[in-house]
Amino acid sequence: MPLTFFMPLTFFMIVTSLMRCLLPSEKPNAPHPVFQRMLGLVLFVVFTLGEIGFWQSSASGFDVIAHRGGRFAEPENTLDAFAHALSLGVSGLDADIVITKDSVPVLHHGVRLHPDIARGPDGRWVSGTPPLIRRLSYREMLRDYDVGSLAPESRLGRSFPEQTRTDGAHIPSLAELLTLVKRSRNKSVQLFLETRLHPKERHLTATPRSFAALLARTIRGYRMLDRTTIMSLDWITLGPVRDLAPEVRRGCMTSEQRWLDTIQRNQPQGSPWLAGRNINDYEGSVPDMVADFGCQTWLPFWGDVTPEALKRAKTLRLSVIPWVVDDPIDVTKAIQMGLDGILTDHPAQVRQIMLEQGLLLPPRTAIKP
């Protein structure tokens, strides 16, 4: 039964108990007024604290994490998107990280500029073979490329037709995102930072150790290591992260889809995505492999989540947060399954479903980019 059903009833009980104790009694043997007031105060505190505990324990701790800032509403991986998500109220911010020529961690999905998103100095979306971010300095990216709107006829343009057009938005640095979070004074929002690399394209970006070192140094400078999860589909960066910043949570991302299979069960030699691990050594259990690798969070593709795998992950004390869950039916199912949270492009919709389910909502933090 939704939590909201009990709120009016419990509030009525608190008020009734308080009034009975505070109002003077006409009975000759009634307690002294001071005693009545003290008893009323005690009952009020007990009921209130108990109710707070009830509300919190009834909420599943379900986290709504804005995937790339929440690209249903705002251009992905931009300061506008992250400011909008903070103002809306989310548990976490998800961002993709790549490294520039001058070793600046920036927020972008992929090692090359995205042709559906990036426009060059001529105002046109990039075409042909898009430039490698590793060959661009941060200053060049700020000066030459606009990522504030989607090409209307592109795949992303058709997928997110309601996304706000924000001309002039640039590819931000990780430092800019951390500064935004600091300015918001939001002490609870978590950061989920995905290192973007591919086993066949590792030579197109920073080395795994350099990647991890740049992330650790930047986040440590903002004193946010304790609320950051560094995650990746290509687990090669997660080992150096453990060595350089052991206080950071690590997230093992997985996918077993035809369009992306990072597990590769049928390969005797294992998968290049898993940094030396082989699923065949774990009797086919992805949660067991994730836990053995040292990740505290498992982030599977939503279509790969099964009740059996979830149960095993919980036994291993793994947080389970799938990506990317946008359909309302799937969101409701994710809540009912007892998942720890989801990455979603549409956090406003998830908040509404959480409210209908009687779950506590993350706080809103009004902030401008």
Q: Convert the pLDDT of each residue in 215-262 to its tens digit.
A: 999 999 999 999 999 999 999 999 999 999 999 999 999 999 999 999
Indicate whether 108 pLDDT > 60: yes
What whole-number distance in Å separates Cα of residue 64 and Cα of residue 348? 9
181 domain-assigned: yes
> 331-343: per-residue pLDDT in tens?
999 999 999 999 9
CATH number where 289 lies: 3.20.20.190
Residue 46 confidence (pLDDT) above 70:
no
Q: Which of 38, 58, 78 is at the close of a domain?
A: 58
For residue 366, is it within any domain?
Answer: no
The verdict on 28 and 133 lying in the same domain is no
Beta carbons of 342 and 302 less than 8 angstroms apart: yes
Tell which of 58, 83, 99 closes a domain. 58
| Terminal CA-CA length for the chain | 40
Same domain, 214 and 344: yes
Work out the pLDDT band at 57, boundaries 50, 70, 90: very low
Are 43 and 106 in the same domain?
Answer: no
354, 89 contact by CB (below 8 A): no
- The total number of structural domains in the chain stands at 2
> Going by DSSP bridges, is the β-strand pair 63-66/92-99 parallel, antiparallel, or unpaired?
parallel
DSSP-assigned beta bridge partners for residue 229: 192, 249
Predicted local confidence at residue 47, as pLDDT? 38
- Based on the domain organization, do 18 and 155 belong to the same domain? no
> Does 27 score more than 70 pLDDT?
no
The pLDDT score that the predictor gives to residue 37 is 53
For residues 166 and 94, give the distance between their C-alpha atoms in angstroms, rounded to a whole number.
20
* Single pTM value for the model: 0.85
pLDDT score at 61: 85
pLDDT at 323 over 60: yes
pLDDT for res 21: 45
Domain of 320, in residue numbers = 63-356
- pLDDT of residue 52 exceeding 60: no
94 and 174 share one domain: yes
Q: Residue 67: what pLDDT?
A: 98
pLDDT, residue 269, reads 92
Q: Are residues 275 and 326 in the same domain?
A: yes
Per-residue pLDDT at 209: 97
- Residue 362 maps to a domain: no
Centre a 10 Å sphere on the Cβ of residue 45 and count the other Cβ atoms it contains: 10
Give the chain's mean pLDDT: 88
- Does residue 231 share a domain with residue 145? yes
Same domain, 26 and 83: no
Beta-carbon contacts of 311 under 8 Å, excluding residues fewer than 6 positions away, are none
Beta strands in 60-101 (DSSP E): 63-66, 92-99
29: confidence class by pLDDT, cuts 50, 70, 90:
low
pLDDT digits (tens, 9 = 90+) for 255-308: 999 999 999 999 999 999 999 999 999 999 999 999 999 999 999 999 999 999
For a pLDDT cut of 70, what percent of the chain falls above it?
84
pLDDT, position 33: 53
Are residues 31 and 172 both part of a single domain? Answer: no
pLDDT number for residue 285: 98
Residue 148 CB-half CA count within 13 A: 13
